[in-house]
Amino acid sequence: DAEADAEADAEPEGSGAANTHVVAHHYNELKEAGRRERHKSKIYFMRNFNNWIKSQLINEYMALIKNQKRVGDALRVLDMCCGKGGDLLKWDKALISHLICTDIADVSVEQCQRRYQDILQRAEKSKYGHKFTAEFFACDSTMVRLRERYKDASLQLNLVSCQFAFHYCFESLSQADCMMRNAAECLEPGGYFIATIPDAYEIMRRLKAAGPDARRFGNDVYSIEFEDDMMTEAPPLFGAKYQFHLEGVVDCPEFLVHFPTLVKLGRKHGLQLIRRSTFADYYKETMPQGRQLLQRMSGLESVQANRCANDEQFKHVAKAFGAQRGRPLGTLSKSEWEATTLYLVCAFKKCKNSWDA
Ligand code: SAM
């Protein structure tokens, strides 16, 4: 950890952003599957489960923020690396007042903006619809100071969310430092930064378990493969690159996140770590409050309503909900469970200054 401290304290210089264009290209090219296609996917239940985890996390910290506020106070959120806007409905349900969405993949940002317009139109038609303002721009959060792109650079945020993306900045210290500053600098004291990232300890544990000379591990829905030069010594704090493949969704380079370094970087920017939970633990902890939402999101109702699933899939879902035996989560296959338990959730609280953090 002394090494981590020294690296994180050092002034960022230069940049090793050799992979960001590969990542941007990958996500820009990704086609959004229709509902029917999604139902057929081998990771259908895992995607629903991951969505549920994000909902639980967002709801947990939005509730804490609302406790500090009065009814009618503005609630402002930054969705950093928003992708195609998979969390827009969550922000809508959280009754926020303003949202900033940004991602390196411009095609995704455009799609996100279109989804927002749809939500807004629906709200306008409905008597009780909730409306929130939003701004969108494409940029690399590891290289650009986001506040300079906001419509109001003095804007104070209540929540920053970075879902399944913060690990991309661990390509180099300067990128990680820039992304952490973006997460922290506009948060008002008492605000939160929440994220979901791969758990580097779990990745290294599975790599070791795969055998002394193994470079690759995984199953029929995901795989992680390291390059040869990563295998000779302990992984570096930054640039510990591996190729991540997730059935039909991800196929691009990612970086191990050395957790003590992440915490140290957070502290530098006034963020204090208040939660680090693996998905498996977070599921156990929040399941009692989130059971109904999970059942809805796990698709039992939508599978029934849309009659998209084949009979076999439907029987499988129905049976799983009837008797939650054997599997950690009724509907997830073993392969999906192995893939989702690669991740962890973390949350940081913004302090008045970095000394407090
Ligand atoms: N947060 C979204 C969600 O949960 O649905 C999208 C997650 S997707 C797995 C990762 C996203 O991170 C992609 O949309 C990708 O374009 C974005 N991303 C990766 N590197 C980035 C960077 N340097 N700056 C901004 N966005 C980045």
State the DSSP code for 25.
Answer: H
Taking CB atoms and a 6 Å cutoff, what residues make up the pocket around ligand 1? 20, 23-24, 27, 81-83, 86, 103-105, 108, 140-142, 163-165, 168
Binding residues for S-adenosyl-L-methionine: 54, 81, 103, 140, 163, 168
Query: Is 273 part of a structural domain of the chain?
Result: yes
Query: How many Å apart are CA 155 and CA 147, to the nearest integer?
Result: 8
Q: Is residue 357 part of a domain?
A: no
| Residue 124 burial (CB count, 10 A) | 9
Domain membership of residue 318 (yes or no) is yes
DSSP string, 168-224: GGGG-HHHHHHHHHHHHTTEEEEEEEEEEEE-HHHHHHHHHHT-TT--EEE-SSEEE
Q: Which range has the top average pLDDT, 35-44, 129-138, 229-238?
A: 129-138
ipTM: 0.99
Query: Which domain does 336 fall in, by range?
Result: 2-8+16-350
Q: Please report whether residue 356 resides in a domain.
A: no
Q: Which atom of ligand 1 is nearest to the CA of 50?
A: 4
The reply to whether 184 falls in a domain is yes
Q: How far apart are alpha carbons 333 and 273 in whole angstroms?
A: 32
Give dist(CA 105, CA 103) in Å, integer: 5
Assess if residue 164 is contained within a domain. yes
The domain spanning residue 201 has which CATH number?
3.40.50.150
pLDDT tens-digit series, residues 270-313: 999 999 999 999 999 998 888 888 878 775 444 333 333 343 44
Q: What is the pLDDT of residue 309?
A: 37
Alpha carbon separation from 28 to 44, 107, 268, 347 (Å, rounded)? 21, 5, 33, 28
* φ, ψ (nearest 5 deg) of residue 139: -170, 165
Give tens-digit pLDDT for 80-133.
Answer: 999 999 999 999 999 999 999 999 999 999 999 999 999 999 998 887 788 999
What's the whole-model pTM score?
0.88
Instruction: Name residues whose C-beta falls within 8 Å of residue 203's C-beta, 6 or more positions apart in sequence.
Output: 224, 242, 256, 342
Distance, CA 128 to ligand 1 centroid (Å)?
A: 32
Q: Is residue 122 part of a domain?
A: yes
Q: What is the DSSP letter of 166?
A: G
Name the residue of 53, 55, 78, 81 to mutate for ligand 1: max ligand atoms within 8 A of Cβ: 81
Quick one: what percent of the chain has pLDDT higher than 90?
67
| 285 three-class SS | helix
Measure 82 CA to ligand 1 centroid, in angstroms: 6
User: Residues forming the annotated binding site for mRNA?
Assistant: 50-51
Query: What percent of the chain has a predicted confidence (pLDDT) above 70?
Result: 85
Q: How many domains does the chain have?
A: 1
Region 234-256 average pLDDT? 93
pLDDT at 16: 55
Residue 50 lies in a domain: yes
